[in-house]
């Protein structure tokens, strides 16, 4: 990713998944395959005491797969062969009917985990995921292969996050606006955020075509009450729609909410 060879689709997928749960990612950090970079990044993140830290990639058998060693260095703990992780790796190769399977040093490396961590079943690949706690923060280390990462996230990570945050309801709307510039829209957004401090309102300029400015606008509300979330989104969208029209703009389409049209 840092050399421009790989597009970070994992970050996009995790961010979207977290938003659907009703929570938000506070920060995304990309670190080089370097022990100092990984460990220092970990320390910086843990200093903010997040609820969860999701680390993706670097769990494989090659020398550049050093995520777990970097995590251990950052936490100041030792690495040790984990018998449960070793069992999961053996079981994976057994399920592949690999009669020639040998526990080579490279394969054994995937079972060496930070002390105190727990291996997490990887149903789609070899390297198990890893769960480890540090104070209030739960750290999940997941493989970088998208199918493996998604499988472990859905099966093990997401349920724990949902259990921590409780039942939340997320309601969202997407508007496509024309004829208004972002600088003109900004005061309207600011006013709504003052009235609805828990809402997420984000504008996405789409450029000017045929002399007409185009903007997409996201409105998201997360609450513990289903109807409350829906009602707040409708209220915000209704007020924004009125402000946009008064400013000479127009709403070309809306998704996720009904908007009254002008007579």
Residue-averaged pLDDT of the chain: 92
For residue 260, pLDDT beyond 80: no
In this prediction, residue 259 has a pLDDT band, given cuts at 50, 70 and 90, of low
The confidence score (pLDDT) of residue 255 equals: 87
What confidence score (pLDDT) does residue 31 get? 93
Q: What is the mean pLDDT of residues 191-205?
A: 95
68-82 pLDDT, tens digit each:
999 999 999 999 999
127/3: higher pLDDT: 127
Alpha-carbon distance 85 to 127, whole Å? 8
Q: Residues 153-182: what's their mean pLDDT?
A: 94
Instruction: Report the sign of the C-alpha dihedral through residues 216, 221, 226, 227, in that order.
Output: negative
Give exposure, 111-137, as e/b (b: 16+ Cβ within 10 Å).
bebbeebebbebeebbbbbbbbebeee
Q: Between 240 and 4, whose confidence is greater?
A: 240
Q: Which domains does the chain have, with CATH numbers?
A: 9-165 (3.40.980.10), 169-255 (3.30.70.1130)
Question: What's the pLDDT score for residue 258?
Answer: 64
Query: Which of the four pLDDT bands, split at 50, 70 and 90, describes residue 261?
Result: very low
Pairing of strands 52-56, 137-142: parallel
**Which residue would you say has higher pLDDT here, 256 or 26?**
26
User: What pTM, to 2 d.p., does this model score?
Assistant: 0.84
pLDDT of residue 94: 86
SS3 176: strand
pLDDT over 50 at 132, yes or no: yes
pLDDT, average across residues 14-26:
89
Share of the chain above pLDDT 70, in %: 97
Interval 109-117 mean pLDDT:
97
């Amino acid at each position: 990713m840092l050399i421009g060879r790989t597009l970070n689709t994992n970050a996009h997928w995790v961010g979207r998944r977290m938003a659907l749960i009703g929570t938000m990612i506070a920060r995304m950090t990309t670190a080089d395959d370097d022990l100092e970079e990984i460990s220092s990044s970990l320390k910086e993140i843990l200093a903010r005491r997040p609820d969860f830290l999701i680390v993706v990639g670097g769990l494989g058998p090659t020398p550049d797969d050093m995520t777990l060693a970097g995590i251990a260095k950052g936490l100041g703990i030792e690495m040790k062969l984990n018998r449960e992780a070793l069992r999961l790796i053996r079981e994976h190769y057994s399920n592949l009917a690999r009669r020639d399977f040998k526990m080579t040093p490279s394969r054994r490396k995937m079972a060496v985990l930070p002390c105190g961590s727990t291996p997490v079943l990887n149903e789609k690949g070899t390297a198990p995921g890893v769960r480890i706690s540090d104070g209030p923060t739960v750290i999940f280390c997941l493989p970088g292969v998208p199918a493996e990462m998604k499988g472990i996230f859905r099966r093990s990570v997401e349920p724990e996050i949902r259990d921590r945050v409780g039942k939340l309801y997320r309601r969202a709307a997407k508007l496509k606006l024309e004829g208004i510039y972002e600088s003109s829209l900004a005061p309207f957004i600011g006013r709504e955020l003052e009235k609805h401090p828990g809402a997420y309102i984000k504008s996405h300029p789409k450029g000017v075509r045929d002399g007409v400015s185009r903007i997409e606008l996201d409105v998201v509300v997360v609450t513990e009450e289903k109807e409350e979330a829906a009602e707040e989104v409708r209220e915000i969208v209704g007020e924004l729609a009125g402000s946009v029209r008064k400013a000479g703009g127009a709403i070309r389409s809306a998704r996720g909410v009904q908007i009254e049209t002008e007579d």
